[in-house]
C-alpha cells in the first residue's frame, strides 16, 4: 500500500514535468513502466517500504505520572509531615517568612547560619532541693553554639553555670554548696521566619549538675535529667552580630530524694554569626557579595 501511493505521486510529478517541457517546445516522451520502477526503487530504500504482512507497531503510551512520581522527593530533608500536623511552619510550606517582624530584604539569617555567643542574667531556684536545704537567686551565665538550617528552625548546644549559696538548716556548720551547671542540646523554632525581629521557642534535653550539703553535713553531688523550655527574641545589630534575650524554665527531673526543680533564668546576650556567604548574581557585578 505504501509503495502504490508513492508511485502515484511520482507519476504525477513526472507528468507535470513532461507538460512543462512540451510547453517549451521540447520533445518529451512519457516514461515507461520500467523507468518508473527504477525511479521508485532509487527514491525509496527497500527497507523503508512497509511489508503489509507485518503488524503495525504498538501505539506509544504515556507513562502514568502518579506512578512515576515519588512524593518524598518533593520535600527537603529538613521537612517532615509531622510539622504540618502540629501547625509548625517550615520554608517548604510557608515560604521565607510570614510577613511579621520586618521581613528581611536583601539579606537573610541563613546567609550566616552558624553562631557562637554568650549571655548573662539571673537564675531563680523556685524549689528547695531538700526540705532542709535553702534555695537562692544567683547570677547566671553561659555560652552556646548553634546553627539555623531553615528559615524557621535551628539547633543549639548550650552550657550554663551559677554559684548559688545552698545551706542546710539541719547542718549549719556544713560547707555551703555553690555549684550548679546546666548543659543541653536544643531545638530552636522561629515562628516568624526570616524577619529582623525574630522571636523563638527553645526545647531541649540535657542535665543539671548541682552540689548541696546534706543533713549529715557532707556535700553531695547530684545529676538530674533536664528539659529546658524557653522563649526569646533575636535582633541583628550588625551583619555578623545579633542581640538576644531569653526566659527559660530549666525543668530538672528529680530522683534519689532530690525534688524536681524549676529553675527560671532571664538572660541577655550576643551571638556572632558566621558561615555561608552567598554571592549576589547581579548582571553588572557577578562577584558582589550580599549579607
User: What are phi and psi for residue 17, nearest 5 degrees?
Assistant: -65, -40
Q: What is the DSSP string of 7-32?
A: HHHHHHHHHHHHHHHHHTT---PPPP
For the ranges 131-135, 149-153, 172-176, the maximum mean pLDDT occurs at 149-153
pLDDT, residue 148, reads 96
- Rounded CA-CA distance 41/52 in Å is 18
pLDDT greater than 50 at residue 66: no
- Rounded CA-CA distance 129/218 in Å is 15
Give me the helices (H) in 62-172, please. Answer: 65-68, 81-85, 91-94
Query: Which residues make beta-bridge pairs with 268?
Result: 120, 245
Of how many residues is the chain composed? 291
**Please, are residues 196 and 235 in contact by the beta-carbon 8 Å criterion?**
yes
pLDDT, residue 68, reads 45
Element (H, E) at 269: strand 261-274
Comparing 92 with 66, which gets the higher pLDDT?
Answer: 92
pLDDT greater than 50 at residue 87: yes
Q: How far is CA 6 from the centre of its chain?
A: 63
- Rounded CA-CA distance 243/183 in Å is 21
User: What are phi and psi for residue 256, nearest 5 degrees?
Assistant: 55, 40
- Rounded CA-CA distance 57/226 in Å is 71
Comparing 249 with 285, which gets the higher pLDDT?
Answer: 249
pLDDT, residue 74, reads 61
Comparing 66 with 193, which gets the higher pLDDT?
Answer: 193
Binning the chain into helix, strand and coil, the percentages to the nearest 5 are 20, 40, 40
Model confidence pTM above 0.85: no
Looking up cell 550554663, which residue turns up?
Answer: 160
Amino acid at each position: 500500500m505504501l509503495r502504490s501511493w508513492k508511485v502515484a505521486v511520482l507519476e504525477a510529478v513526472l507528468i507535470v514535468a513532461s507538460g512543462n517541457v512540451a510547453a517549451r517546445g521540447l520533445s518529451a516522451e512519457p516514461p515507461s513502466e520500467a523507468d518508473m520502477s527504477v525511479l521508485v526503487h532509487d527514491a525509496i530504500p527497500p527497507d523503508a517500504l512497509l511489508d503489509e504482512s507485518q503488524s503495525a507497531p504498538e501505539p506509544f503510551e504515556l507513562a502514568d505520572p502518579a506512578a512515576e512520581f515519588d512524593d518524598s522527593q518533593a520535600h527537603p530533608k529538613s521537612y517532615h509531615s509531622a510539622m504540618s500536623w502540629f501547625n509548625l511552619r517550615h520554608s517548604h510550606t510557608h515560604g521565607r517568612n510570614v510577613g511579621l517582624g520586618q521581613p528581611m530584604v536583601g539579606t537573610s539569617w541563613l546567609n550566616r547560619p552558624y553562631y557562637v555567643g554568650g549571655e548573662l542574667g539571673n537564675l531563680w531556684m523556685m524549689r528547695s532541693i531538700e526540705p532542709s536545704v535553702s534555695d537562692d537567686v544567683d547570677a547566671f551565665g553561659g555560652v552556646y553554639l548553634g546553627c539555623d538550617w531553615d528559615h524557621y528552625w535551628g539547633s543549639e548546644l548550650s552550657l550554663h553555670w551559677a554559684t548559688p549559696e545552698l545551706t542546710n538548716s539541719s547542718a549549719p556548720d556544713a560547707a555551703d554548696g555553690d555549684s550548679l551547671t546546666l548543659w543541653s542540646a536544643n531545638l530552636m523554632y522561629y515562628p516568624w521566619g526570616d524577619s529582623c525581629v525574630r522571636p523563638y521557642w527553645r526545647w531541649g534535653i540535657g542535665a543539671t549538675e548541682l552540689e548541696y550539703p546534706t543533713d549529715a553535713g557532707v556535700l553531695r553531688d547530684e545529676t538530674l535529667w533536664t528539659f529546658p523550655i524557653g522563649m526569646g527574641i533575636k535582633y541583628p545589630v550588625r551583619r555578623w552580630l545579633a542581640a538576644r534575650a531569653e526566659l527559660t524554665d530549666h525543668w530538672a527531673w528529680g530522683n534519689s530524694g532530690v525534688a524536681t526543680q524549676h529553675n527560671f533564668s532571664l538572660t541577655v546576650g550576643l551571638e556572632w554569626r558566621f558561615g555561608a556567604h552567598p554571592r549576589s548574581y547581579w548582571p553588572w557585578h557577578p562577584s558582589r557579595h550580599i549579607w
